[in-house]
Structure 1
Amino acid sequence: MSDGFVQNGSTAQQERPSIWKRMVAKCGIDAPLVILMLKGTVAPTVGLAMYQADSVARHFSTIGYLIPIMSILSIPVLPRARFIQNLLVTSLLTCLAAAISLLAMWCAVKARENTTHISEAHSNGPVPGSTVSPFNAAASVNMGVWLFFEVWLANTFRAYLPQYFLPSIIFSIFINVTATYGTQYANMKQAESLITHLLESFFVGFGISAATNLLIVPLTSRTIVMKVMAGEILGFKSALQAQSRYMTSLSTRNWFGGAHALNDLDRRDDSCNSPSDTTPWTEADALENILSQVTGLHAKSEAELRYAKVEMTWDKLNAKDLETICHLQRRILHPILGMKSLSHAANRIEKRGGWDALQDREREQWYWILDKVCGSAQRLQEGMILGLEESLYNLGLGKRPASTVKSDIEANGFHHTSREKDMVSHLESMIQQYLAERETTLKEWCASNGLDRSSQQNDAAQMDDGLHQQHLAQLYLVLNLEYLSITTAQAILDLVKFAESKVNDGTMGRKRLIFPSWKRLRKWARDAVSREDSNLDYQDYSTRSGTVTVSLSGLLPASKNPEHAPPVSTWEKVSDKFRIFMNMFGSPESAFGFRVATATMVIAITCFLRNSQQFFIKQRIIWGSIMVAISMTRTAGSGIYGQFLRFGGTALAMVASYIVWYIVDQHTAGIIVFFAITMFLYHYPLVKHHDTIVVPMIGMVTVILIVGYELQVKKIGIPLSISNGQVFHPLYELAPYRLATVLGGLGVAFIFTYFPSVITVRHQLREDLGTSLYLLGNYYCSVHQTVSLNIRGAEGDPGDKMSPGRRLHKARSRLFTKEIIILEGMKKHKKFMAWEPVLGGKFPQASYDRLIDHTQRMLHFTTMIYHVAESFPNFPTPTGVQSNSDTWLNDFKQLVISLELSSRDISAALSMISTAISTGRPLSPFLTAPEPVNLYQLLKKSDRHILSSARVCEPGYAAFAVIQVATSLLADDLKGLLCETKKLVGEENFGVDALTLRDQT
């Protein structure tokens, strides 16, 4: 065996992959990626090539290059459901732009008629049938006002619904073109000709994109969801393997310290400046990295699932099945993520010097129980891994291997055929075996440490003994590990049962036509026009538009207005509705739209002045005004970052245009081939890094503008090409002109990012942190309310939308999603900070990093508490063992009641900290973090025998331990959060320093 291993190793060294293979692997290039890149190449290439037909060139004249541009901006490589939604919104916005443009040009035509009393000379326009007239001041003023309104409308829409960033760009292109030429039309027939040709070119591009998306290698959201789900199950397998190595490493940690060490997990250092460096923990870091990847996969699965549910498809699993799988995977993810709490506890114990071991026996007993518990958990993990593999195959998410390694099967105690048929019973037996082993181990350990004796005595001195508290802390950590292992196995068992049920009922036997229900279609239509900040992919959309914003409206109860009493009379109720429009025009989104419109008019104004109108049209200054309209963002850092990317992307595209045009000596066929190659390469970052699409999109559009225009001139000739008023430039001049206009537009955008006022990323980070803490306080409170309803059985019918449990679950889920989005958004803010110039003192980045870390951990511990409430009723018990669950359930109810009182204090503290950070005002003096409820003392009061070693294996005991660990760690983070906030904003000082006043006088 060893000789074969050495031989294989030497062979692997000799057969080292080539440079090409290593580069491909490093770039993450695989067959699906290449296929999508080829698919994305088709639409712009067809749009550019079709213009070489005489009938197409004759019809579209000088605007034919807009066809491939529109085919790119509609993104044909999107999954089908996303593409259709995006295409519908794009089409509606294009039609709206056409309607508004017609109204604007009608106003301009009427203004010209009322101010012109002599005949005017006419010349050829941009499209057939649209002759243009000389300058008219009244018409230009009208078009200028309308352009300002249209740009404001487009960018307010973009800020409010960032998922439609690209449709708003298409809207901006349309209104800029019509505003430029709308000043020159003397009658509506000419204006209608331009609108008609623009609509035709836009929708031909959309049609090519739609045909590419639907007919060429169709990609559905369902396909993506199922691949992500398969990756998530494989990620669970990797996480369990890493978790096994992590458990092995627990016995290598230094849990014990010197004589001044802290003995209790609940005791915390009074200083927030406690040492933060701990011994490196490779296994914990590896587990953390894997869990981060799995969490990302689950977020992607949930985000794409809402599109997969509205697709009509030919498949086996319906939308409800996919939803159930996603729910079951979430139940697996929660306890696996909960294992991180053990790392947090271990690190904090180490920071404070470790436990105090007066005798070597204390160390030996602790490491003994760690070995026993971890060994049993590792054997259970082997069964979990087999269960994950079986569910993967039964659900059709992976292909079952043709042969199975016999040694692996025999090692797990059953044959391949029985594994396919009896996986449920096998996993159940492994869970029962684990429960039996843990009971023996726990009772023996409790007896050896005197916990069973201490629980039967009512001796206050002994209860406060440091050694006894240390044993309790150790017991809680062990029970925490066991509870999470058991609930993970139970969640995997539920997934295996579901997969087996789908096989048994024939669902996986054949494919069928699956239609979305009308209810799902109505919900999809409603969500398509609503703000998407309650969905996990909102963060990606919002980042493209510049700044992540999370709305609290409609989520929390309406607060009282100190300036307005509730309306009573009819007039008050009617007039109160007008305040909606006032709030809309005064919203941050409207202010952003106004800023962009003002910046756009700085360039576009030259189109509406007599001495500069022809220069604006001839030299294509419209490119600069469009760039202003699409490149500005709400914060300075993200705006500068995006402007740099747009300039770099344009410069790179200019070089690519030279290569495409001149490498084939300006032959049309060769140009189209190299154009296709360029589009293929640009689709790599577009597909691979879909959250940063600025560079590939601006690059492809620039190449099309330059190369497409030159091919257009080559096809229809220079005389017809300059009939639209634009001067002809050969490509070697046109490319720098494009770069210069883009640079000018970006320069204006940069100026108006800072003028007349600036919203920095640092300011936005502070506000978002305050919002995050406010959401966390409400989420924490909603979790405890959910726990209370579940334990008391007062949640009502889950199928009833108006039941307390259903409404609270919906609110809690939205709070959690918004919290995750805003936490991810703050990570983006940190990246954008590097692009902002620093004026004055340095930004306290370290303080904000610590505040964000405290917030993330508190969110994690709060979710752990909810997981306990959700999984506690289904916690398995050993077969044949009489459980005292009724007694434990009653005591658990009392525990929840007491926790609700504590949760109010914690939520109130988070609310005050949130207000201080959001406003920058100092905290109230003498504000302290609320202490966590001593759950041990609480349960002792309810039943003094409740914590005896005879009860240590009760489900409630383990649930109590997990909550004890979570609340202790949460309170510790809350104390650190409050301490760090005091250092950042300070405390109010209502006293008067007499000595200071005397010196001042």
Structure 2
Amino acid sequence: MSDPSPEPDKAVDENLAAISASTEEPNHLDAKPSPQSIPTDARNGSSAAPTPPPKKPNMLQRAWKKVGFNPTTIMIMVKPAIAATIAMGIFQSQAVAKHYLNLGYLIIIVSITTVPILPRGKFIMNLLVSVVLTCFGCGMVTLGQWCGIKARQHTTPADASLAVAYGYNSSASVVNAIFFMVNIFGISVLRAARPAFSIPGIQYTVFMCVGFSYGPQEPTVAASHRFVKELLYSFLTGQAISAGVCLLVIPVSSRKVFFAEVAGFLQTCRGLLKAQMGFVRVLEHSRLCNPLVKKEHLETEEGKAVLQTFAERAKALKAASAGILGLGAKLRDDVVFARRESAYGHFRETDISELHQLLRRIMIPISGLSTIVAISEGMQEDGKLPDYVPEGVSDDEFNNERKEWLEMITAVIVTFEQMVQILDESILHILILLRLVPGASKDTKLQREDVEKNGDTSRPGQLGYGDYLEKRIKLFRQTRTAELKAWATSRGLNSVFQSTLKNQSTRPNMGHQKLPPGAQARDILASKRLHIIMFMEYLLWTTSLAILSLVRFAELKATDNTFRHSRLVFPKIKTLIKWVKGLINGDPDSGPQFGNLDENVDVPDIVYLGSSFNAPKDPEHLPPKNGIQRLGNHLRLIPKFLGSEPVRFGVRVTIATMSIGIMAYLHSTHKFFIQQRVVWCLVMIAIGMSPTSGSAVFNLLGNLTFTLFGMIGAFINWYIVDQKTTGVIVIFFFFMMFYFYFCAKYPRFLVAIVAGALTHVLVIGYELQVRVIGLAQATATGQPYYPLYKLAPYRLLTVGAGVLVGYIFTIFPVPITEASILRRDLGLSLFLLSKYLSAVTATVDMRLQDKSGDMKDKGSPGRRLEKMRHKVLEKQVMLLGSMRANLGFLPWDLKFGGEFPTELYKALVDEVQNITNYLTIIAYATESFPSSHSLSSTPSPTTLSRQTPWLTRFSHYRHNTIPQSHQLTTLLTLLSASLRNAQPLPPYLIPPSPYRISDELLDEGAELLELSNLDEPGFRAVAVVETGQRCVVRSVGRCVDRVRDIVGEVDFSFRVVGNSWEESMVFGGPSAGEAGADVGADGKVKNA
């Protein structure tokens, strides 16, 4: 099948459901019709015939739209229903049923839990793991039952009657119980430690529960082998049916999912650009243009409407940026399966990798556009300006100040609108050439001829559009440079880096006379505004370059015969080996990440690397010096593993399961356990337990609710067709579609909905099974036959009891709450942020000094620092997603005592996200530094000249790393330690003042900061770095305040309230966070 999907659909959230077989529906934020739908006459400026108004949809169309049916939803509904119905249908044949007997209903359950809705690549991986675990489980059950039978034989007298020899045996029960505990513990640990084993782990759990529940009553090895064979055949048959449905019924490849998500990503980029443009249009109402606002204006209806519009546009921009990041995360996950998959299509594995890299190059700058919201809102805070216009300021002064900036913003809006329109058409051009939209033209030769006829103009879909885009990008840069210089000249502003009084500028008409303090303050504010304008401009410009690279890629693929014919595509052996290692180790790049970086580094200078590049130090052990000590280090991994989170979770699950499972191994309760089908209580305990109490409450209520619905559905399914087998199977199919419709629409309730569907399957499947194999065979295992009106409530009770017991052991003996997990993760996130800040700071210094080495060499310092930075960023992104999920479960968490400070934690998570975004933009902006340097060695002061590249001269005058950046790293580390250990902050903890890398320039380098260098390579990038640094400092200050509010601060100062004021000053005054306790005249504390 071909790779691209002609019409991408809406995807199901993978973070909440193990379903990613869907495709992503484009984000239609832009209501304007695509150029394909615009008549040719209209595009050329001619008037076209007016189009009639669209017809009002009829009632059926409105209902269809209301329920949200689309190809993806229908696929998710139909495929599991077909698999379950096939499994139920084939068992109605005696020729089939004789091979499964009492375990035939497991075929239906396994066909569903193998998840046939997954894309082909993910499904095959899931299927392989499931088959391997099933075969391994078969071996474990066979071994366990054999050991139990041998224990029975050794403890049974030779002259015992058949009732004694084949009846209950305590030794056999103990052996089976031990095997059951060990296997449940192992699979629970594996599921917690390796997410790839989650779905196969469910089937393994069911296999263990059924195998070892019936194990104690197996009298002979032959009977055991017959039982295990039926159990194994049931699982393998269900997996085979699921595989056939996945691969043959509405087949969906991982490549199709990937390309549909690519289309969705590009369409969302179009929407984000529109949202950015909408926000730029209302910037005139922000603090960027109005550092001082007239109070009476805010009280008018017009002022309120303007503020509301600004807030709505800002919210829309943030939402669009969040959508881009979410799609980027999905692309990162799905590209792995798309590369591994064997297919018949157009794109090779290398093409998919290159396409994904180009999309990542777009994601960083285009998602960074949303930071303009926080930057513009922080103008007042950063400048410490009053809220309103002081009474002494005249209307003329106020209007003149506003008018100057309105002129600037107006010019920005005009140029940005033109560029955004071009980028919108460029993305459409990419979609057409990559055949990700319907109606993509295939006649590239005709398209090229049209371009030559049109001259400088071009339309999306025509080869050569990349040259047109490149010209427009250059024109955009030249226009913005001219406008900035003209505006600064008219205002007398000489330097965009006029951020502190250290770098004072002089106006052209004042000679060397310094500006007065009032004018100096206005120029500092103007410099900050210019930084923000250049920040916006640089991000849009780099976004344009990234889109241009993708346009070049699309045009190359349109002309190099990639789409000429389809071909068989196979993954590389290296890719498969990496997949197997990742499946075993949990991380494809597991193992030592860096090692000794001083080895084999081919750089001209001696490079000393920081301790963070090496393995973390052990505070209780020195590095091993001999083989015995190294062996001891390996032995210490065992207790470390046994104390890990997955093992603790596995112990909880094992204890919870055995609290009910013990009934299967005791003489007085074994018969009851078998008769009442309590085995399914064990299954629900093992697969339904959650690691935290908040999600446990959510799962408890959801599972109980949908299990009740499953019982009611089984009643309806059975009696609405008067218990006729054919009618029951037909209605069963529609019920399965009904259940999985809600799975598609509400993936958050996936586990609960599947629990309801399994309850339905257990009831209906058993009743039909009894009809086929007969009553005698159905009761041969000791289970009495119940009619459906009795069986359904029993199933409800067993499943409900399992869910309830699982919840009890989640909160007993010590509840693991979302609050504690969130605090721990947030502390870890702050520590990762300190590492990321340190890595970005080192990256900026290295690139400024041109010491990165050859980035193609894996041993170069720049390449290794880049690898470390990317790893820390990936972990940070994962932690942020986990923390936001925990925030969503907080309302369900157990609440004892005072309220949890949700708003403080939410604000802290947002600040961590903002700092991560700023640092990522800083690292991205410095990527252009190496190319901006001279290829020769760093010049000496005597060789510096106008011919020397600007960035080389700039870095020459900047000697050392700014100490404030190290203070920020120290601050974040302290915040992390205080939050993770629930300890108060050290006293007098004050964030550093905002700093910039240009502040390090010496007096003789001041001319480098003039606006005449605006077009020099690296000039705008330095301005972007400085803007990001200022935002990082501001956000870290907010983090300090919020962490102080959460954990407090070490502070024993006091102040006496009375006729005179006195303060403790033994070693210093009060801390920055608290003024101290109020002490009355009697010496008692009034307010502690």
TM above 0.5, yes or no, is yes
Query: In the alignment, what sits opposite 2:226?
Result: 193
The equivalences for 1:6-17 within 5 A come to 11-12=53-54, 15-17=55-57
Which residue is equivalent to 1:373?
Answer: 412
Pairing partner for 1:599 from 647, 656, 670: 656
Q: Is the aligned partner of 1:621 residue 2:678?
A: yes
Q: Give the whole-Å Cα distance in 2 for the aligned partners of 1:396 and 1:203.
A: 39
Could you say which residue in structure 1 is the equivalent of 2:146? 106
Matched, 1:39 2:39: no
Shift of 1:563: 2.6
**Counterpart selection for 2:987 from 915, 919, 925:** 925
Mapping of residues 328-347 of structure 1, within 5 Å: 328-347=358-377
Q: Which amino acid aligns with 1:375?
A: V
The residue aligned with 2:34 is none
Q: Which amino acid is 2:949 matched to?
A: T
Deviation at 1:106, TM superposition (A): 2.6
Q: Distance in 2 between matches of 1:534 and 1:903?
A: 30
Quote the residue 1:438 is aligned against: 480
- SS of the aligned residue for 2:770 comes to helix
- Equivalent residue letter for 2:972: L
Matches for 1:474-553 after TM superposition, within 5 Å: 474-531=529-586
Deviations, residues 796-854 of structure 1 (Å, cap 9, x unaligned): 44444443333333322222122112111112112212222311111111211111111
Equivalent residue for 2:466?
Answer: 424
Please report how far the alpha carbon of residue 240 of structure 1 lies from its aligned counterpart in structure 2 after TM superposition: 1.8
Contact 2:473 2:544 (8 Å CA) reproduced: yes
CA contact (8 A) 2:149 2:220 kept: yes
Bigger shift: residues 733-742 or 333-342: 333-342
What one-letter code is carried by the residue in structure 2 that aligns with 1:466? A
Indicate conservation of the 8 Å contact 1:64/1:201, yes or no.
yes
Letter of the aligned partner of 2:630 in structure 1? K
Return the alpha-carbon distance in structure 1 between the equivalents of residues 439 and 676 of structure 2.
63
| Aligned partners of 2:289 and 2:405 also within 8 Å | no
1:560 maps onto 2:599 in alignment: no
Aligned position for 1:50: 90
Q: Deviations over 1:723-747 (max 9, x none)?
A: 1111211111111101111222222
CA distances 1:248-277 after superposition (whole Å, capped 9, x unpaired): 22224354668799xxxxxxxxxxxxxxx9
Match of 1:215 in 2: 248
> How do 1:711-750 residues align onto structure 2 when only pairs under 5 Å count?
711-750=768-807
Deviation at 1:306, TM superposition (A): 0.3
Q: Distance in 2 between matches of 1:873 and 1:246?
A: 33
Distance 1:841 1:935 in 2: 45
User: What is residue 384 of structure 1 aligned with on the other side?
Assistant: 423
Q: Report if the CA contact (8 A) 1:455-1:944 is conserved.
A: no
Please say if residues 702 and 749 of structure 2, whose CA atoms lie closer than 8 Å, have aligned partners that are also in contact. Answer: no
How far does residue 227 in structure 1 lie from its aligned partner after superposition? 0.7
Structure with greater proportional helix content: 1
1:233 matched to 2:266: yes
Structure 1: how far apart are the matches of 2:621 and 2:425? Answer: 63
Q: For residue 939 of structure 1, report the CA deviation from its aligned partner.
A: 4.0
Secondary structure at 2:779 match in 1: helix
| Distance across 2 between alignment mates of 1:796 and 1:940 | 27
Q: Any conservation in 2 of the 1:132–1:184 contact (CA below 8 Å)?
A: no
Task: State the TM-score, normalizing by the size of structure 2.
Answer: 0.82
Whether 1:97 and 2:137 are equivalent positions in the alignment is: yes
Write out per-residue CA displacement over residues 527-555 of structure 1, whole angstroms, 9 at most, x where no aligned residue.
Answer: 222325999xxxxxxxxxxxxxxxxxx99
CA distance in 2, matches of 1:872, 1:336: 20
Q: Which moved more, 1:337-346 or 1:365-374?
A: 337-346
801-810 or 158-167: which moved more? 801-810
**Which residue, out of 184, 187, 194, partners 1:161?**
194
User: Distance between the aligned counterparts of 1:228 and 1:869, measured in 2?
Assistant: 29
- 1:665-699 CA distances to partner (integer Å, 9 max, x unpaired)? 11111111111111122222334455642133212
Aligned partner of 1:245 in structure 2 is 278
| Alpha-carbon distance in structure 1 between the residues aligned to 2:786 and 2:113 | 26
In the alignment, residue 462 of structure 2 is paired with which amino acid? Answer: E
Counterpart Cα distance in 2 of 1:676 and 1:583:
49
Percent of aligned pairs with the same amino acid: 31
Q: Tell me which moved more, 231-240 or 455-464.
A: 455-464
| Cα separation, partners in 2 of 1:788 and 1:500, compared to 1, 3 Å | farther
> SS where residue 927 of structure 1 aligns?
coil
Q: Secondary structure at the match of 2:344?
A: strand
Distance 2:861 2:1034 in 1: 32
Match of 2:341 among 304, 308, 311: 311
Report whether the alignment pairs 1:454 with 2:506. Answer: yes
Which of 910, 913, 917 lines up with 2:972 in the alignment? 910
CA RMSD of superposed structures (Å): 3.3
Conserved? CA contact 2:582–2:589, under 8 Å: no
Q: Structure 2 CA distance, aligned partners of 1:660 and 1:969?
A: 61
In 2, Cα distance between equivalents of 1:117 and 1:556: 67
Verify the 8 A CA contact 2:951 2:1018 in the aligned structure 1: yes
Residue in 1 aligned with 2:29? Answer: none
Task: Report what 2:4 is aligned to.
Answer: none
State how far apart, in whole Å, the 2-side matches of 1:104 and 1:418 are: 67
Judge which range, 307-316 or 559-568, deviates more. 559-568
2-structure distance, mates of 1:416, 1:891? 41
Q: CA 1:204 to 1:945, structure 2 compared with 1: closer, same or farther past 3 Å? A: same
Stretch moving more, 514-523 or 739-748: 739-748
Unaligned runs of 5+ in 1: 124-130, 262-276, 536-553, 877-882
Displacement after TM superposition at 1:568 (Å):
2.8
- Go from structure 1 to structure 2 and tell me whether the alpha carbon gap of 1:122 and 1:654 turns closer, same or farther (over 3 Å shift): farther
Aligned partner of 1:956 among 991, 994, 1018: 1018
How far the C-alpha of 1:228 sits from its partner, in A, is 0.7
Is the CA contact 1:534–1:814 (under 8 Å) kept in the aligned structure 2? no
Greater relative CO (CA pairs within 8 A, separation 6+): 1
Q: Alignment partner of 1:664: what SS?
A: coil
- The aligned counterpart of 2:216 is 183
* 1:173 aligned partner: 206
Q: Which among 252, 257, 266 is matched to residue 224 of structure 1? A: 257
1:471 aligns with 2:526: yes
Distance 1:66 1:100 in 2: 19
Measure the CA separation in 1 of the matches of 2:378 and 2:852. Answer: 37
Q: Determine whether 1:73 maps to 2:113.
A: yes
Deviations 1:392-441 (A, max 9, x none): 1112222346799xxxx99x996567961331221122122222222221
C-alpha spacing 1:185/1:421, structure 2 compared with 1 (3 Å): closer
SS at match of 2:783: coil
Q: Is the contact between residue 426 and residue 460 of structure 2 (CA under 8 Å) also seen in structure 1?
A: no
Q: In structure 1, give the amino acid aligned to 2:378.
A: R
Deviation digits for residues 194-241 of structure 1, max 9, x if unmatched? 222111110111111111112222211100110110111111122222
| Number of aligned positions between the proteins | 946
Show the counterpart of 2:734.
Answer: 677
1:102: how far off? 2.3
In structure 2, give the amino acid aligned to 1:298. Answer: G
* Distance across 1 between alignment mates of 2:399 and 2:764: 80
Residue in 1 that maps onto 2:182: 149
| 1:925–1:688 Cα change, 3 Å | same
| Structure 2 residue ranges without an equivalent (≥5) | 1-41, 295-306, 495-504, 591-610, 934-944, 1055-1063, 1067-1078
For 1:525 and 1:320, locate their aligned partners in 2 and report how far apart those are by CA, in whole Å.
Answer: 20
